[in-house]
C-alpha cells in the first residue's frame, strides 16, 4: 500500500518512483458542489514480478459527473489477427519483432479538470502518514477520511482512456508517426511507407 500511494503521490520512504498523479488536500479546500468519489483497492499476488505483493488503487468513477468523453480507439480483433499473422510470416523470413509496454502512460496523462476522491484514514500506512503529515486536523477530516485531488489519469476514470490516447498521439507525432485512417491502432511514419508501429490500445 505504501508503494502504491507513493507511486501515485510524490514518493515514499522506500524509494517508489512517483507519477505525481494525486495530491493530498484538506477537505475544506474542495470547492462546494464538486463530486467526491470513493477508492477501490485491487490486491493481487504476482509471483514473477519484482514486487509480488501488489496493491492497485482505482477510482470509483461511477460517482463522478463530468462531460461525456468518447471512448479511446482500441485494437480490433481483425487488426490483431493481421498483426500476428504478419509477425509470424515475417519472422520466418528473418525479420525481428519488438514489443514495448508503456507502463505509466495511463497515469502520466495530465487532466484539465481535477477530480476528487477520499480514503478512510485507517487504510494509510504509517510511513505515508509521517511523510505527508497526515493527521488531525491537517489532512484527516472530522469524518476520519483523507481527501485528495486527482491531477492525472487513473484507472477507473471515464476520461482517462481517451486522454491517454490523445497524449500518445501528441508524443508519437513528434517523431513522425500518425495513426492510419480507419485503423487507429496502427501507426505509420510519415514519408516512410515501410515503417509501421502497431499500438495495441487496451485502455478502455
For residue range 82-105, what is the model confidence (pLDDT) as tens digits? 778 877 887 788 887 777 777 778
User: 58, 55, 33, 30: which is closest to 45 by C-alpha?
Assistant: 55
Task: Work out how many domains the chain is built from and give that number.
Answer: 1
| pLDDT 10s digits, 152-161 | 999 888 888 8
Residue 115 lies in a domain: yes
% of the chain beyond a pLDDT of 90: 45
Number of helical H runs and strand E runs in the chain: 4, 9
Which residue segment(s) compose the domain that 54 sits in? Answer: 2-198
In a domain? residue 52: yes
Cα gap 145→127, rounded to integer Å: 17
Q: What is the mean pLDDT of residues 171-181?
A: 85
Q: Give 81's pLDDT tier (boundaries 50, 70, 90).
A: confident
In a domain? residue 8: yes
Asked if residue 41 belongs to a domain, the reply is yes
Residue 192's pLDDT is what? 59
**Residue 1, pLDDT above cutoff 90:** yes
123-141 average pLDDT score: 94
Q: Strands, DSSP E only, in the chain?
A: 22-25, 36-37, 39-45, 53-59, 110-120, 145-152, 177-180, 183-189, 196-198
* For residue 117, pLDDT beyond 50: yes
Distance CA 87, CA 97 (A): 7
Q: Rounded to whole angstroms, how far apart are CA atoms 23 and 31?
A: 15
Asked if the structure places residue 203 within a domain, the reply is no
- The answer to whether residue 81 sits within a structural domain is yes
Average model confidence (pLDDT) across the chain: 85
Element (H, E) at 173: helix 160-173
Q: Which residue did the predictor score with more confidence, 81 or 13? A: 13
11-70, pLDDT tens digit by residue?
999 999 999 999 999 999 999 989 999 999 999 999 988 889 999 999 998 888 766 666
Q: Residue 195: pLDDT above 60?
A: no
**Is the pLDDT score of 132 beyond 90?**
yes
Comparing CA positions, the residue from 91, 72, 107, 96 lying closest to residue 199 is 72
Flag whether 161 is in a domain.
yes
CB atoms within 10 A of CB 88: 10
Indicate whether 12 belongs to any domain. Answer: yes
Amino acid at each position: 500500500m505504501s508503494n502504491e500511494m507513493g507511486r501515485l503521490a510524490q514518493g515514499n520512504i522506500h524509494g517508489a518512483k512517483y507519477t505525481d498523479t494525486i495530491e493530498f488536500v484538506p477537505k475544506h479546500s474542495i470547492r462546494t458542489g464538486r463530486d467526491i468519489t470513493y477508492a477501490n483497492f485491487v490486491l493481487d499476488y504476482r509471483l514473477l514480478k519484482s514486487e509480488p505483493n501488489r496493491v492497485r488503487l482505482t477510482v470509483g468513477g461511477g460517482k463522478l459527473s463530468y462531460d461525456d468523453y468518447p471512448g479511446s480507439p482500441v485494437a480490433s480483433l481483425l487488426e490483431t489477427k493481421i498483426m500476428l499473422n504478419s509477425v509470424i510470416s515475417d519472422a520466418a523470413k528473418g525479420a525481428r519483432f519488438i514489443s514495448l509496454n508503456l507502463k505509466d502512460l495511463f497515469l502520466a496523462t495530465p487532466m484539465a479538470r481535477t477530480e476528487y476522491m477520499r480514503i478512510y484514514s485507517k487504510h494509510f500506512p504509517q510511513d505515508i502518514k509521517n511523510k505527508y503529515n497526515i493527521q488531525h486536523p491537517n489532512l484527516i477530516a472530522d469524518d476520519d477520511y483523507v481527501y485528495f485531488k486527482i491531477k492525472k489519469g487513473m484507472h477507473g476514470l471515464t476520461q482517462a482512456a481517451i486522454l491517454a490516447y490523445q497524449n500518445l498521439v501528441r508524443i508519437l507525432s513528434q517523431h513522425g508517426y500518425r495513426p492510419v485512417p480507419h485503423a487507429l491502432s496502427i501507426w505509420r511514419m510519415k514519408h516512410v511507407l515501410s515503417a509501421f508501429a502497431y499500438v495495441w490500445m487496451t485502455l478502455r
